Structure 1
Amino acid sequence: MNSSEPVIRITLLPRDTNSQGTIFGGVILSYIDIAGAIEAHRRTRMERFVTVAMREVIFHHPVFVGDLVSFYTETVRIGTTSITVRVTVEAERLTKIGERVRVTEAEVVYVAVDEKGRKTPIKLPDEKARVESADHTSAPERNVSEV
């Protein structure tokens, strides 16, 4: 399991359930999007991003009411106008303190936009960070119009 600090940690409530009594997948997807956006903002210091793609999401385990759910992030790639963030979701079971399961993971692609909603180049606090992120990426270079 993940040893870094989560970007978001939350206990999900009965209002978040589906008809099966487990947490609705859409709630988890929403938090994945938020966690990825937090990572994008922290990494780049850009003000505005829009989500353009959430790559394959497969739920491995259900989340139950009362589980402590953690969202961990990692920047995969920083391009000219886009950033790809991997979000990993883990749940700590309420009934078995310390038992953690990997719920799902996703790669989310965000595009930096200006105040008029047009794509804009990503400016990094330290331009060296762009090179470092490219050195260990597993994501292929993609044109935003492809996603």
Structure 2
Amino acid sequence: MRFHTRKWVKPEDLNPNGTLFGGRLLQWVDEEAALYAIVQLENKKVVTKYISDINFSEASHQGDIVEIGIDVVKFGRSSLVLRCEVRNMMTRKTILTIENVTMVNLGDDGKPAPHGKTEKEYVRNRLAKDA
């Protein structure tokens, strides 16, 4: 799994217990999954369709730096299924795992549309093809 984004836990991210608010963390995960899907599917019109069980396994506190990791589980006809792990960058302890985040590729009409992708691609490889 590749960890793409780091977030610094600030006071405004905390719940009344003084730990990272789960809703804030899920916001970060959803945004990261969308960005990952947009790059993979080469389409800005991507939406979150489904998020499976969310397993919070460790708390995060103010000042922690968390990393969000995303990996492809499978490519569907119009969807992309991702797995997510969030961990504390310094301790490497897992904070959260989500086994299935399903993102859907949309056409200009706002409806699911085939994306034609079958495997993970890296932008650097696309650029090499175009050169």
Instruction: Provide the TM-score with structure 1 as the length reference.
Output: 0.75
Match of 2:108 in 1: 115
Match of 2:80 in 1: 83
CA distance in 1, matches of 2:56, 2:70: 17
Match of 1:100 in 2: 92
* Equivalent residue for 2:69, pick from 48, 68, 72: 72
CA distance in 2, matches of 1:76, 1:37: 15
Normalized per residue, which structure has more strand?
2
- How many pairs were matched up? 119
Q: Which amino acid aligns with 2:116?
A: K
Q: Which amino acid aligns with 2:102?
A: V
* Equivalent residue for 2:56, pick from 59, 72, 91: 59
5+ residue gaps, structure 2, are 121-131
| 1:115 CA displacement | 2.8
| 1:47 CA displacement | 2.0
SS class of match (1:73): strand
Can you list the C-alpha shifts for 1:52-98, whole angstroms capped at 9, x where unaligned? 11111010001101100000110111110111011110013xxxxx4
Runs of 4+ in 1 over 2 A off after TM superposition: none
* Equivalent residue for 1:30, pick from 23, 27, 32: 27
Q: CA RMSD in A?
A: 1.5
CA distance in 2, matches of 1:7, 1:99: 17
Aligned ranges for residues 115-134 of structure 1 at < 5 Å? Answer: 115-124=108-117, 130=118, 132=119
Greater alpha carbon shift after TM alignment, 49-58 vs 114-123: 114-123
Instruction: Provide the TM-score with structure 2 as the length reference.
Output: 0.84
5+ residue gaps, structure 1, are 93-97, 125-129, 134-147
| 1:12 CA displacement | 1.2
